[in-house]
Amino acid sequence: MSRGLIIYVCATGSKSLRYWGQNSYGATHGNDPANWQRALSTYCQDDVINTIPLAFLNVFFSVGGQPEINFANICSSNSGVFPGTNLANCQFMAADIQACQARGKIVTLSLGGATGAATFSSDAQAQTFADTIWNLFLGGSSSTRPFGNAVLDGIDLDIEGGGSTGFAAFVNRIRSHASGASKRYYVTAAPQCPFPDAFLGPVLNAVGFDAVYVQFYNNFCSNANPSSWNFATWDNWARTVSPNRNVKIYIGAPASTTAAGSGFVDATTLGNLARQARSQFPSFGGIMLWDASQAYANGRYDIAVKNAMGSGSGGGTTFTPPPTTTQQQTTTQQPTTTPTSGSCAGVSSWSSNVAYNGGSKVTFNGHLWINQWWSFNGKADLN
C-alpha cells in the first residue's frame, strides 16, 4: 500500500480528535487552575485520539503583515513575539509537537475560531497568505517560525465569520505546495451543522477536503436534538457533491456542559450516535471533541465516548440517508480472504499482488484502508 491510504479502525474503533489551545475549561472555571489546559504533549500519552488541531491562528493580517496565534494559557503574544510583528514565538512547543507526532498523532493548525479576524479580500491575497502559512508552519522555511523546526501536518479551517472569498484559492495553494512534499499534509474544515454552512459551504463544494468536523452543537441540528440531527445530509454531500468523494465526516461535540452554549450529550448517547452513523453512513470518520481541557476535566469524557463507541447498545433514533447514486469501485483482482463480522465484513484482505484503484477498500491487520489513488505492491504502514 502507498502513503495515499487513510486508516479507519474496524468494528469497535473510529478516529477521534480533540481540539487543543483555547483552554475552554479555564475560561469558565477561573478558580480551578489545576484543571486548566496543560502542555500539548500531555494529551498525546494514550491512544484515545488520532488528531490534534491547534486552536487558533485567529488573525490573518496583523502587525508587519504577519498572522497572530493564540493558545490561551500556554502561548500567545503575551509570551513574546517576533520583532516587528504580533506573532507569538512559541518555539518551546516544538518538542511537544514532535513528541505527539512521534506517537503517531496528526497535529494541524486551526485557522479562524468564533472571534477570529479570518477573511480575505481576494484570491490573490489568499494565495499569498497560503505561502506565509506554508513557510511559517508547514514544509517551507522562515526565520520567524513560531514552532521552530517542528513541521505541522496540515491546516484546519474553522471559519465562523466574514465570508468565503479566497478560501478555495487558499486551499488550492496549500495543496500545490504539498504536492511535491516528502510527507502528507491534511486539509480539514469545521463547519457548523446547518447545511450548507454560511461561510464554508461554497469552499467545501469547490475544493477537496480530507475530513470535515461538523459542529453538531450550538444549533438546532445538534446531537441533543435527534429529530433535526442532519448527519444524513452531510453524508449525502460527502458522497455526491464533495470534490473528494472519500472525504470523512466527523461528529463534532462539546466535551462538557460548559464547552458550548448547547448541544452537550452524555458519553453513552454520543457513542450510540457514532455507532449508528458508522453502520449507516459510509462517510462517517469519527468523533471530534471541543476541547481537550474540557474532556479531561469532565472525568476523561473522551475515554468514556471511545468506550461507548465500542460497547454501546445502539438503539435510539435511526437515520435514513437521502437517496444517492452510488459509484462502483473495482480492483483488478480480488483477494480471497474477507472478514466475516464487524464493520469490515465483506471487505477483502490486502494483497501485495493486487493493483488497487482509487477508492477501493481492503483490510489489513484488523483495519479498513481506503485507497486514495492507484497503487500496487506497496507496504502497509499503520503509523
List of domains in the chain: 13-311 (3.20.20.80), 328-383 (no CATH)
In this model, does residue 117 exceed pLDDT 90? Answer: no
Average per-residue pLDDT for the chain: 85
- Is residue 290 within a helix (H) or strand (E), and if so which, with residue range? strand 284-290
Q: Residue 157 CA to chain centroid, in angstroms? A: 10
pLDDT at site 15: 83
**pLDDT tens for residues 254-263?**
999 999 999 9
- Of 118, 109, 206, the closest CA to residue 150 belongs to 109
In the chain, pLDDT over 90 holds for what percent of residues? 75
pLDDT at site 324: 35
**pLDDT tens for residues 320-361?**
444 433 333 222 233 333 344 444 544 555 544 444 344 456
Clarify whether 68 is annotated catalytic.
Answer: no
Catalytic member of 156, 160, 197, 302:
160
Burial class (CB in 10 A: 0-12, 13-18, 19+), 373: exposed
In this model, does residue 135 exceed pLDDT 50? Answer: yes
Least confident of 127-131, 231-235, 236-240, 342-346: 342-346
Note whether 122 and 163 are within 8 A (CB). Answer: no
**Letter string b/e over residues 19-49, b meaning 16 or more CB atoms within 10 A of that residue's CB:** bbbbbbbbbebeeeeeebbbebbebbeeebb
pLDDT at site 182: 93
**pLDDT tens for residues 42-92?**
999 999 999 999 999 999 999 999 999 999 999 999 999 999 999 999 999
Instruction: Return the C-alpha cell found at 204.
Output: 467545501
Give CA–CA dist 215/252, Å, rounded. Answer: 5
Confidence of residue 175 (pLDDT cuts 50, 70, 90): very high
> pTM of the predicted model, to two decimals?
0.80
β-bridge pairing 186-189 and 211-215: parallel
| DSSP letter for each residue of 147-202 | TTT----EEEEEE-SS--TTHHHHHHHHHHHHTT-SS--EEEE--BSSSS-TTTHH
Give CA–CA dist 133/143, Å, rounded. Answer: 13
